[in-house]
Amino acid sequence: METQLPPSSSSSTYHIFLSFRGSDTRKNFTDHLYTALCNAGFHTFRDDDEIPKGQQILPELERAIRESSISVIVFSKGYASSKWCLNELVQILGRKRKNGAGYSVFPIFYDVQPTEVGNQKGRFKEAFDRYEESGEHSKDKIGEWREALKEVSKLTGKVLEDESNGHEAVFIQTIVKEIGIMLKRTVLAVAPYTVGIDSRVKDINQWLKDCSDVGIGVISGMRGIGKTTIAKVAYNFNFADFEASSFLANIREASEQPNGLIRLQNQLLSDILKGKKQKVYNTDEGIVNIRAAICRKRVLIVLDDVDQIDQIDTLIGFGGSLVNGSKILITTSRERLLSHEDHKSFRIKHLDYEESLRLFCWHAFSKDHPMEGNSEFWASALEKLETIPDERIRKTLEVSYRSLHDDHDKRLFLMIAWSYVGKDLDDAVKTLEERDFYSKIGMQNLLDRSLISVDKDNKIVMHHLVHEMAKAIIRQETNDGPQRHNVYSFTGTKTETITSEGSLLYKNEKCGKRKSMEDYEDESMPRYVEGLSPFKRLCLGFISLFEPATRLTTLLTRQHK
């Protein structure tokens, strides 16, 4: 991964020099750590001993050590078996002795204890026994290596076995946080397993570096696709280039809490004013104070998970108070949220098959490829996830469904999921209009929330996870409860829908009339409808719009007597 963010210190080319034994940790722990450091915005030099090297430290590595702010050394069982690693360690500690407090060394004890390193026990002892027996190295050189290991083992660092219950992902996040403190940089934690992040962040980074004018950028896409992670990485890469910055997370969720927007306003003021207290007690006061705070600085502000336009207006307005070069980056599941405002759009692509497999393997095996002998396991797991989405994923996707403003759009979404995926958009709109849906505006609302999309052939497309979520909603809301059930077919001669409040909307070509269920007299309506839950009534309306020829039956039930 390449980063464009330079270190804060003018004398350092790199934030971090990363030293490790390649054959031990190159493709697992160190790769995860390197990715996490880069995602946190740290310009990291990775010494990969896979590259052929001589017996001496190469000039470019000497320069990288000399021009970094911190050396992070990953000690593993085979570390001492590499003469290259030992020579590199001597060079790093020499830099530390020369620069004192101006240079830091941060040891990480991956699968060894500090005492094993310092006292050369276990595999370390075996390595030094071989060096002494071979006669290839002078006693002075071997002694220099021993002293270097003893010295570094006494430095403050991190021991995997002693922290995070041995969980590498949590351990890595702790390391990133510690390094941020050492470098006096506040960075946002990013999951260590990121796949395909470079290509998705590249255009955003270029846009953020354009200082010619004020810019509003919108990262959009379906829920769970990684918009927040991408925004965090972009923020970490670029925030140091601005006079002030702020990342406001989970705005949709926070705005639903009492005084949630006021809390976000206070956080934004604190970030922009560098901790100076300027507490506000109502949103109007906050708007005035925020505009005064940001009108004189080049700022980077990220608004994460926005779903209503007034949330933006309450927090930053629409750029009228910003100076040239300031950037507002918004993540949202609503593609048309700023359709009437000038902005740069970044539509996030789904992971392709290869990327998805790599991400799965990182989580399952801590490698980017399946482990030998486990092909049946991961193939079965992938097949299961394609058929039965993870519960956490389903709940994440349901947020977009629940955000639909009315039952009409919810019924329209369920109808499309059941019967119109893959159909021509114009034909579907026409058919649904004939069935008394307001399908033109309804389709736009679904497109806006990334619940559906339209391909180049004008066909309706629904992501398979969203499709499974829709079917799960239908099953859940029409077949809950432990009773014994009968299955009924219901195809009335009129177009009927039932709102979640339990009233019947009868609509014809000339006029729309709203009647109470009690006044409706139609023997085609099952009598037990009144006893159904509100959402079962909604689903009855959903099923009732199908043509009789489809032979679809409702999952509406009545208890056996």
Domain boundary among 153, 182, 211: 182
pLDDT of 531? 40
Same domain, 305 and 237: yes
What gap in Å lies between CA 319 and CA 324, rounded to an integer? Answer: 10
**Per the domain annotation, does 50 fall within a domain?**
yes
Q: Which residue has the tokens 């309706």?
A: 460
What gap in Å lies between CA 396 and CA 35, rounded to an integer? Answer: 25
Inter-residue contact 227 to 219 (CB < 8 Å): yes
Tokens of 77: 């069982």
Neighbours of 226 (CB within 10 A): 23
Same domain, 216 and 331: yes
Same domain, 49 and 160: yes
**Per the domain annotation, does 187 fall within a domain?**
no
Neighbours of 520 (CB within 10 A): 14
Domain boundary among 159, 182, 205: 182
What gap in Å lies between CA 405 and CA 411, rounded to an integer? Answer: 11
What gap in Å lies between CA 49 and CA 81, rounded to an integer? Answer: 13
- Any idea which residues carry the catalytic annotation? 88
Range 396-400 contact pairs with CB under 8 angstroms and sequence separation of 24 or more = 396/223, 396/224, 397/222, 397/223, 397/224, 397/465, 397/466, 397/469, 398/469, 398/473, 399/223, 399/252, 399/333, 400/222, 400/223, 400/333, 400/449, 400/450, 400/451
Beta-ladder partners of 20? 74
Tokens of 274: 């560098």
Same domain, 204 and 76: no
Range 134-139 contact pairs with CB under 8 angstroms and sequence separation of 24 or more = 137/83
**Per the domain annotation, does 1 fall within a domain?**
no
Same domain, 167 and 202: no
Same domain, 42 and 151: yes
Tokens of 159: 């021991």
Find the domain containing 168 and state its range. 14-182
Same domain, 216 and 178: no
Same domain, 160 and 222: no
**Per the domain annotation, does 126 fall within a domain?**
yes
At 300, the amino acid letter reads L
What gap in Å lies between CA 503 and CA 517, rounded to an integer? Answer: 5
DSSP one-letter string for 64-83: HHHTEEEEEEEE-TTGGG-H
What total of structural domains would you count in the chain? 4
pLDDT of 27? 84
pLDDT of 423? 92
Extended beta strands in 350-430, E state? none
**Per the domain annotation, does 445 fall within a domain?**
yes
Neighbours of 527 (CB within 10 A): 8
Tokens of 391: 């519960």
Neighbours of 64 (CB within 10 A): 20
List the pLDDT tens digit at each of the 561 positions of the chain: 333 334 444 456 788 999 999 888 888 899 999 988 988 888 899 866 434 455 455 777 888 898 899 999 999 999 999 999 999 999 999 999 988 777 899 999 999 999 999 999 999 999 999 999 998 889 999 999 999 999 999 999 999 988 877 788 889 988 998 898 888 776 787 876 678 788 889 999 999 988 877 789 999 988 888 899 999 999 988 988 898 999 999 999 999 999 999 999 999 998 998 767 678 999 999 999 999 999 888 999 999 999 999 999 999 876 567 888 999 999 998 888 887 778 899 998 877 777 777 777 777 666 666 666 666 776 776 677 666 666 777 778 888 888 887 889 999 999 999 889 999 999 999 999 988 888 899 999 999 888 999 999 999 999 888 888 888 888 877 665 434 333 322 233 333 333 322 322 333 233 333 333 344 344 343 333 334 444 444 443 333 333 332 322 232 233 333
Nearest to 302 by CA among 287, 290, 281, 316: 316
Furthest CA-CA distance within the chain = 102
**Per the domain annotation, does 458 fall within a domain?**
yes
Tokens of 418: 């059941």
pLDDT of 78? 94
Same domain, 25 and 160: yes
Same domain, 20 and 136: yes
Backbone angle region of 177, left / alpha / beta, with phi > 0 → left and psi within -120 to 50 → alpha? alpha
Same domain, 239 and 298: yes
**Per the domain annotation, does 288 fall within a domain?**
yes
Same domain, 343 and 357: no
**Per the domain annotation, does 5 fall within a domain?**
no
Burial of 301 (0-12, 13-18, 19+ CB in 10 A): buried
At 268, the amino acid letter reads L
Write b or e for each residue in 258-277: b if 16 or more Cβ atoms lie within 10 A of its Cβ, otherwise e.
Answer: eebbbbbbbbbbbbbeeeee
Of all helices (H) and strands (E), which one includes residue 251?
helix 251-255
